[in-house]
Structure 1
């Protein structure tokens, strides 16, 4: 599927300033004053047949940003090359992952060469522009994420996650944290992000693991699958992400909740479509997107209609923009050279979002090579933009002939040695970075700072250093419950320092402010033990009795923590909360998350009580059906031996969207397990796999369409690296896997399908396929 580094490449520049936006100083407006915008597609293509490489200064002039803001250059080549991820240290320096050898040409020649780097950028003269580059690690193959922890750096280099100790800005001892951080060889579908969240765990996009350093050991736990490229948190530690077709997704509940039941495929309140509106408003024509030839992808002015490469979201917490921008979600769209702003509103534990503008964007550029791939809050309150700056961002695996032709005609492959970092700030407010001190008491004071980056870094420093002098001040701040955000940071700082006590948490569970109760409920598993679980269980029981609807899902989420000490108490608590809230899907799914291995028992209890209309009963039935399918599935190890190439291709190409169990992944793709499209006609299946499928699809009577899944599955027939035999083995593997038992596909079948549809670019629709 598509992602930030493979969803698009824009073709032509189109003019006109966006209403309500202003260009940076001396911006050259392409559209001549008094003349209408050119809408003749041929003339537009002729006008912008080339795609010039612009200097950073010239590229800045092509940016149109929201009135009252300005964009400043922070760093550019040769100081930086192909940046994809970054993080600030406590000194305000920027650590950057450079994916230098990504797609050197349309064939990806030499992509596996070890040219990637982790570099440290520093502003030595304090003028706001970074002027010094220091290489921390080199000879890396496509590094994609990094995170500072204690006195070291986590680095994601497929397939491994490494931890390097830092010794005077040089790498020291190296520890392998996870040898399967990524699986398969598809660059487009590998985990990334490594966000160090408020709860002291490190989360990734496109992944189901979270990490935490405890002494010399690394803890690894299961968590929810989240998004595609980029991950962020709000002031309460809730996580936000997206996939390339959907503006913004996120969690209603604390990030550590609800992932306890491996049999439960989805949990209500996680992976929620928060905005829904995926319309984009480029400042230029964008014919070079990978599917630009398809109807509805571009409008009459040849501009992208909807997101195709949404990535790198950030929840603005910098404090510098003003109150109306606080907790706004900004999302990058490199396919359309823009950054979107969304406004989020909170109602109880639910979040809702809407685009800030109609017909325009927070920032849009007419420079085709401007590729914002990640966004970050900075130490100075600015919004930082990581620009990969190149012509080609579509990965070879899904590159269409249409796009390859666009690239060749306009010589877009080179250069690949550029990259920029920008900072967006209010035009009339000075952006001054906060220096993070070493003194523990000063760090505690910074937990009250208006800048969320500063608060996060102060908490992380307290947790990393574990200086006991900070503990009394943290406990005092914890009592300042009117300062809800600062109190939350104090709570989690104590938790991370192993200094949190039950008596710190129990009073907070009774606080009237929901944000305080939410944090207290979220931290309960960290302090509850066999000796103190009883008072916690009693308070949770009281919350249910008081019909605290906001706390109710959390009470159900906490049942597994209680169950390890008292099984009966945990079951009674679950029964009480689902009885009190029988129509609440969030409570029902939270309850199911606590039932692994006992789903059938609870289902029978509901049947015996004739409680078949409750949400719990219905959703339990769905889980039990998924369990039945999994139980009767084929042995994947035996199939991998029979179809080794097919199994490997499935893992690298299909699994991230269709799931290891073939049951599909929410927001991404429908099931292949028991799918009539998989086990039915070979010719229909080959048509889909070779040339793709667009629009809604009905699988065994159930209609899947956006936003339930992505609107299109790209074909792999254009990938010259895959032989007919490779594809035949992949399809044979799928047709024999899980509960499927269809016949093999031969290389001759693939060859024949290619012959029948030779020269085809367009993806198939369900209607077309049904006529085959």
Structure 2
């Protein structure tokens, strides 16, 4: 197989030999330069620059538009008339604060058919930071961070006259890491990408936070869904013709594949180690520029450091080898790269396909490439000598960058150009003219025919026009088209695929249209992979669909991509016994479990939880850490020989020291370590098998652990507190009975440093909360029908059967009572049902007691999923489940819901950097504030969610350094000034966090901190012992925390209740104070860095007393 792949790659690369290598060609115009340090090339005219472009044999490039009509083109699209809409972005990268934007959207037309635009209409001017565009409903959806905006033309004059913000939430702190690459999806949603400036908002009552990657949203802005999480600045999104999702990131990941969308992991609060969402499939590092001109690259030099776009060529004008491949721009290399996509198990990988476009003009900067209505690839040339965004201090040949940072985190550079831009079209000598040049929304016949076009642009445009104009009269024709079997040479049945999704967009795939639903089921047997994949996605979520899928054969397909799609869809359908058995077979199939995509999909089906980090109380230590026992290691700070991890290595000349190892600022250090690296070895004797090893580790920074020469675990970053990480069973096989060698390497990358570890195994699971229930005699009921727990908790339910019949208790997933009950009814026919306690195999089951005979007590211990919700429990004895029910109301960690409807309502906001906000300010402090269930506490780290909570909030706890959006800020001030909401302001929120919100520190905090002493022990002294907040607090106490150098604002009126003094510095600062606000009570407290503060009795007393004081 490797030889075949290599041959194909060679063949493909051979086809893209640059045309300059074949035959005689007139040399391009000479380049001229200005200056010496740096020496900067002068710009060329569009016609001269075009001559510097090189393409594969058989291709040529044509100039469609250029300055002065088009300047700084950053994105484009086309309408149904075939007209090009170009975003001209002159606000980028610094135009954040402009009252009048500098961007414009221009419609370009070729009215005389000569292949060049000759009519330019400005659809919208004075726009701000516009980075993406797609057309819907007679207007344009454009990304303008922080907003997604609909620019509408209501009177048909090609001029925008109505602007509607669909939603906000995109970050603007770095303007080259915002939203981009908007596209109309085959699923009738709008898709896009966003870089590390990220996104935060809430939709349909649920907070949405997304770091970076690709997403989709409803055309009216009512729904938003993150789809693929990428690992750095994302500026590329693409679909192949089967509607599979790809993308690119700017920095060294120019080719990404989204195989399992994030929504499949919604039942988890974070992805476990087995999970895979987006894979970085690039097959090479280097770019291949066509000249030796020095590349201006800040980082990833010689590679993809500014990769932009991930669009596929989805027409038929080019030779087959170029079709359905991904085209990625690299403006710093002056090229458009061909990312050849090949199958790799149930995923894909990239093979270097060379370039389709490359220039020797140092100003040429392709930033966007897409298949146009003519079936050719169109390219936006930013045409600029300054391409990269971030400031840079490192030297390079002829460096034009500098370290001067401006707005938008972009470096200031006088060489940035705002006067050039070009649009090119790449054509092939064997291409035919397009059969379609425009579509009339009123021509139904043409719209249906266009769904079968060989150009995906026209197919998708026809689909969009049918859907947005609600052409329900076409449903019969669409049903007929969806049932055809017209397969082209690539295996694509384009018309059927788009017909299916068009039916979905028209609302035809519901219970009222039997024929439409039937054609979806029949499409599962199509000869086209893309059609089957679409049919799977469009199956209604019914029990009948589950049976159809189980019998379709798709779950055992030899095409692993097909199998993956089927397993993922199975996880979304109601469960049936047949479906469960099919997935169970796959879970025992090596070909499925050895493929990372299928393995993850199977685990998703069974709703496998994240067991990686375990509760310390469940761990039995086998090899102790310093916390359990003083342990001695052999260690060195000089790099040892390569075999240092093996038992036979001689470490007799190494030093001996007791863990923990670390710097003098770290707690509980027994052996100093101040160098960059430390290597440690310890021989241990293991008497029993370690089947489920658990690493107990505290580290700063990166570490590796080896057992008998084999890598056990490695991790980057740091953790001041011990964490317990459960490893796979295979890792347990590295240990052997008798003597074992444990070897550790730790690297300090800066700042504090320490390392200590131990190894344990999972013992008996200890529950976080235990409920005791009884069956009610002669009533077929549980005595408790409502329980309360927190997402992620380990729960034990003890059931005492006091009835005269047998009963059990089975906890199941939210919303599954009817479906699971039907499975129970069907399971009764199984001869094994009684032996299995009448509990069928099902992914809905979280845990179950045994079937208990009268007078017997049993229990079940299980871990609740990370998703809040209402989790039912039922009895599965024949005939009982319909009557014998109860629910566990599961809330988010940090939130505590009182059953008293009149309870005090406390909203807590955390989030930001440098703290475990949820663990300490959410869970630990929330438990104290809830006062045993008397108060309701809602914790969030989403600013907009907090905004929705404020109208009914009695007390607001701020413990965040994460920014708050403008509306939430205004709501806080309004609630306080009206006297409706008191405040507790803790630790990170007492800082001067937000320069653009001075009112916060002046009127609410009464001052602020700009620095703190190192994390260490200091002394707190109470100044006002008679104040209610200091009730029961020692007059002096010591605490390990960060001593904030808090200072009062000159205009604020406060009363200081306690101060803290550094034991080394002797400096003293306010620690607890009240702000004398005219309308409300406000308490400030700088304590609270980690568990050493939150677990301190004095801290807890101050928190409880503060709440008591502000609510009275």
Same fold, judged at TM 0.5 (above): yes
Deviates further, 243-252 or 79-88: 243-252
Does 2:466 align with 1:472? no
After TM superposition, give the deviation of residue 244 of structure 1 in Å.
1.8
Aligned pair partner of 1:586 in 586, 591, 597: 597
After TM superposition, give the deviation of residue 515 of structure 1 in Å.
3.4
Q: Alpha carbons of 1:238 and 1:256: their partners in 2 closer, same or farther (altered >3 Å)?
A: farther
Aligned to 2:773: none
Aligned to 2:565: 554
Does 2:426 align with 1:424? yes
CA distance in 1, matches of 2:1042, 2:329: 44
CA distance in 2, matches of 1:540, 1:77: 56
Q: Alpha carbons of 1:290 and 1:513: their partners in 2 closer, same or farther (altered >3 Å)?
A: closer
CA distance in 1, matches of 2:183, 2:134: 7
Aligned to 1:668: none
Instruction: Provide Cα deviations, 1:160-191, integer angstroms capped at 9, x if missing partner.
Output: 111233221222443322111x1242112212
For 2:160, what is the secondary structure of its paired residue? strand
Answer yes or no: is the 8 Å Cα contact 1:245–1:278 preserved in 2.
no
After TM superposition, give the deviation of residue 70 of structure 1 in Å.
0.8
Does 2:440 align with 1:437? yes
After TM superposition, give the deviation of residue 441 of structure 1 in Å.
2.2
CA distance in 1, matches of 2:691, 2:134: 48
Aligned to 1:328: 325
CA distance in 2, matches of 1:189, 1:150: 28
* Larger-gyration structure (1/2): 2
Q: Alpha carbons of 1:415 and 1:473: their partners in 2 closer, same or farther (altered >3 Å)?
A: same
- Given the two structures, how large is their TM-score scaled by the length of structure 2? 0.48
CA distance in 1, matches of 2:185, 2:136: 12
Aligned to 2:391: 398
Aligned pair partner of 2:307 in 307, 310, 314: 310
Greater share of helix residues, 1 or 2? 1
Counterparts of 1:184-199 in structure 2 under 5 Å?
184-199=172-187
Deviates further, 139-148 or 477-486: 477-486
CA distance in 1, matches of 2:183, 2:379: 17
Aligned to 1:687: none
CA distance in 1, matches of 2:276, 2:486: 27
Q: Alpha carbons of 1:339 and 1:401: their partners in 2 closer, same or farther (altered >3 Å)?
A: same
Does 2:231 align with 1:231? no
Answer yes or no: is the 8 Å Cα contact 2:475–2:503 preserved in 1.
yes
CA distance in 1, matches of 2:401, 2:450: 53
After TM superposition, give the deviation of residue 149 of structure 1 in Å.
1.5
CA distance in 2, matches of 1:599, 1:617: 15
Q: Alpha carbons of 1:572 and 1:260: their partners in 2 closer, same or farther (altered >3 Å)?
A: farther
After TM superposition, give the deviation of residue 540 of structure 1 in Å.
2.4
CA distance in 2, matches of 1:639, 1:445: 47
Counterparts of 1:334-349 in structure 2 under 5 Å?
334-346=331-343, 349=346
Greater share of strand residues, 1 or 2? 2
Counterparts of 1:84-95 in structure 2 under 5 Å?
84-95=74-85
Deviates further, 551-560 or 130-139: 551-560
Aligned pair partner of 1:492 in 493, 501, 505: 501
After TM superposition, give the deviation of residue 196 of structure 1 in Å.
1.4
CA distance in 2, matches of 1:23, 1:498: 57
CA distance in 2, matches of 1:28, 1:246: 31
Instruction: Provide Cα deviations, 1:373-399, integer angstroms capped at 9, x if missing partner.
Output: 11110000111001111121222x434
After TM superposition, give the deviation of residue 365 of structure 1 in Å.
0.9
Q: Alpha carbons of 1:28 and 1:405: their partners in 2 closer, same or farther (altered >3 Å)?
A: closer
CA distance in 1, matches of 2:268, 2:1013: 27
Q: Alpha carbons of 1:148 and 1:353: their partners in 2 closer, same or farther (altered >3 Å)?
A: same
After TM superposition, give the deviation of residue 85 of structure 1 in Å.
1.0
Answer yes or no: is the 8 Å Cα contact 2:334–2:359 preserved in 1.
yes
Answer yes or no: is the 8 Å Cα contact 1:308–1:335 preserved in 2.
yes
For 1:187, what is the secondary structure of its paired residue? coil
Answer yes or no: is the 8 Å Cα contact 1:387–1:420 preserved in 2.
yes
Unpaired segments of 5 or more residues in structure 1?
1-16, 32-42, 298-303, 605-609, 650-725, 734-740, 748-772
- Given the two structures, how large is their TM-score scaled by the length of structure 1? 0.68
For 2:152, what is the secondary structure of its paired residue? strand
Counterparts of 1:591-610 in structure 2 under 5 Å?
591-593=602-604
For 1:460, what is the secondary structure of its paired residue? helix
Q: Alpha carbons of 1:429 and 1:541: their partners in 2 closer, same or farther (altered >3 Å)?
A: closer
Instruction: Provide Cα deviations, 1:29-58, integer angstroms capped at 9, x if missing partner.
Output: 769xxxxxxxxxxx9997992310111111
Aligned to 2:546: 537
Does 2:540 align with 1:522? no
CA distance in 2, matches of 1:730, 1:157: 38
Q: Alpha carbons of 1:598 and 1:240: their partners in 2 closer, same or farther (altered >3 Å)?
A: closer
Aligned to 2:28: 28
After TM superposition, give the deviation of residue 455 of structure 1 in Å.
1.6
For 1:489, what is the secondary structure of its paired residue? helix
After TM superposition, give the deviation of residue 560 of structure 1 in Å.
5.1
Aligned to 2:257: 251
For 1:162, what is the secondary structure of its paired residue? strand
CA distance in 1, matches of 2:728, 2:481: 40
After TM superposition, give the deviation of residue 630 of structure 1 in Å.
8.8
After TM superposition, give the deviation of residue 201 of structure 1 in Å.
1.8
Answer yes or no: is the 8 Å Cα contact 2:315–2:375 preserved in 1.
yes
Aligned to 1:165: 152
Answer yes or no: is the 8 Å Cα contact 1:147–1:195 preserved in 2.
yes
After TM superposition, give the deviation of residue 88 of structure 1 in Å.
0.5
Counterparts of 1:102-251 in structure 2 under 5 Å?
102-103=92-93, 114-167=101-154, 168=156, 169-180=158-169, 182-206=170-194, 207=212, 210-213=215-218, 218-226=222-230, 228-246=234-252, 248-251=254-257
After TM superposition, give the deviation of residue 554 of structure 1 in Å.
3.0
Instruction: Provide Cα deviations, 1:367-423, integer angstroms capped at 9, x if missing partner.
Output: 11111111110000111001111121222x434364898338999615312211110
Q: Alpha carbons of 1:611 and 1:326: their partners in 2 closer, same or farther (altered >3 Å)?
A: farther
CA distance in 1, matches of 2:393, 2:98: 19
After TM superposition, give the deviation of residue 75 of structure 1 in Å.
0.8
Answer yes or no: is the 8 Å Cα contact 2:237–2:246 preserved in 1.
yes
Answer yes or no: is the 8 Å Cα contact 2:228–2:258 preserved in 1.
no
Give the RMSD, CA atoms, in angstroms: 4.7
CA distance in 1, matches of 2:311, 2:554: 38
Aligned to 1:50: 40
After TM superposition, give the deviation of residue 290 of structure 1 in Å.
4.1
CA distance in 1, matches of 2:692, 2:554: 23
Instruction: Provide Cα deviations, 1:65-88, integer angstroms capped at 9, x if missing partner.
Output: 112111111111111121111110
Aligned to 2:838: none
